[in-house]
Amino acid sequence: MPAAVDLTVGKLERVIPQKEGQHLRVGLVTGFEPEELLQSLHATNLLPLSVGILFASGPYDHPKLFEELVERLPCPIWGFSAAGLLHSGSDDFQVRGLALLGIQSFGDVFSASTVLGFPKGSEEAGRLARRAFEGCRFGPELLYLALAARPPAETVKFSPFTLLVGHSDVGSEEENLMGISQELGRSVRIVGGTAGDTLFLERVSERYCYGEGRAEKGALSLLGIATTLKNGVGMANAFRPVKGKGAFVTESLGRQVKTLDHKPAADVYAELVGAQSWEEAQAYFKSHPLGIVEVTTGYWQVRSPAAIGADGSLFFFSHVPQGSGLTLLETDREARIQSVRAAVRRALADAGFPKRIAAVIAFNCVLCHQQALSLACTREELRAIQQEVGWDVPILGASTYGETGTTVSGTVGHHNQTITLWVLADEACTE
């Protein structure tokens, strides 16, 4: 861990003022032990919950922690272990603690169901995703009214289905997402992340996702949401291309890139960043990842190098297809802050620009968290979300080992050094 980085926990509020609206009551409770969360929930008007979303960062016994909560909270609880937290209960990012966002719905406008499994291949992941919605119960009457009373142009963005995805089996994300996308099609919003362990990757083995009443390693946990309330997803990263710095992937397999331009990938990367050795090149992994451009929108999908193999291969945190073009990327402090703002704005646009925001769930890359600490902009990133949605809106976010998100053109994928968000509004689709 860099000695210059200050990991002091910011000001922490155990009970954050609730956001109560016409259709929902939403609240955020934080603490360091499950009993604190339970006491805080009982001190509010949130119980019984329709659903709880939980992130836990620190050296916890996750199965025991989760068991304590589910025994006393008879509702679906979804989430995962995190390498850090960002939420509206603190004025800065956190590196240890628990945070639970509770949603209580009035009437049949919102329903949620969790499933957890160990899919072996894309088909099993797809079947698990379908099962996530089998437990949802909601009244579609408002949806019928909206479609009947408003012209198609005003309802074209609305979908009643959203899927929150939690992975604790690193390396399976792409295959799982392929199965989910094939099974559910393009009418379901998909967002989430990969469970984390330590912030600076000193230990990466204690990754758990939560769902269906238990916490498990090596699993896929899904939260299926059916709602007639406006909601949306957004995604962004802070990077821009470095002109004239790129190469083609001439040999790759999954997350291993063996050659770029028919030369050892590590040699080419070292040349791109101006490093004299592989060891020196590794110091640039976080600040100068590589990117694949999405031609339709010009969006750069980040591919972050993770390690160099003995044969000069580059290992990445996401798949890199053979034949694709990679471009060197760079960023700065202001771009980090503005990327968070852009992700929120895309989520709001996807939701139809609602006026009454009920909650925000964020999935922020662990490398973004590290970089924000080194650039001293963690507080500004949290404030950027608050400035876009309102200072009284409950916000809950996790530092993840990979982000599940949908690009502007609709491609679902596993991303690096990216922030993805889900925004839920207290507005019916008829408004």
Q: What is the pLDDT of residues 203-219, one digit of tens each?
A: 999 999 999 999 999 99
| Confidence at 13, pLDDT banded by 50, 70, 90 | low
| Confidence at 17, pLDDT banded by 50, 70, 90 | low
256, pLDDT greater than 50: yes
279 CB-near residues (< 8 Å, 6+ apart): none
pLDDT of residue 16: 54
CA 220 distance to own-chain centroid: 14
CB 415, CB 403: distance < 8 Å: yes
Per residue, what are the HEC states of the chain?
A: CCCCCCCCCCCECCECCCEECCCEEEEEEEECCHHHHHHHHHCCCCCCCCEEEEEEECCCCHHHHHHHHHHHCCCCEEEEECCCEEECCECCCECCEEEEEEEEECCCCEEEEEEEECCCCHHHHHHHHHHHHHCCCCCCHHHHHHHHHCCHHHHCCCCCEEEEEEECCCCCHHHHHHHHHHHHCCCCEEEEEECCCCCCCCCCCCCCEEECCEEECCCEEEEEEEECEEEEEEEECCCEEEEEEEEEEEEEECCEEEEECCEEHHHHHHHHHCCCCHHHHHCCCCCCCEEEEECCCCEEEEECEEEECCCCCEEECCCCCCCCEEEEEECCHHHHHHHHHHHHHHHHHHCCCCCCEEEEEEEEEHHHHHHHHHCCCHHHHHHHHHHHHCCCCCEEEEEECCEEEECCCCCEEEECCCEEEEEEEEEECCC
pLDDT of residue 170: 95
What's the mean pLDDT in 9-38? 78
pLDDT of residue 8: 38
CB 80, CB 209: distance < 8 Å: yes
pLDDT of residue 6: 38
**Amino acid residing at 280:** E
Q: Which two tokens stand for residue 152?
A: 């198609």
What's the mean pLDDT in 276-280? 97
pLDDT of residue 375: 94
**What percentage of the chain reaches a pLDDT higher than 70?**
95
248, pLDDT greater than 80: yes
CB 300, CB 241: distance < 8 Å: yes
What digits encode the pLDDT tens for the residues 391-430?
999 999 999 999 999 988 888 999 999 999 999 999 988 8
Closest CA to 195 of 66, 313, 27: 66
**What's the pTM value of the predicted model, to 2 decimals?**
0.94
Please, what is the Cα angle at 424 between 350 and 342, to 5 degrees? 45
| Confidence at 333, pLDDT banded by 50, 70, 90 | very high
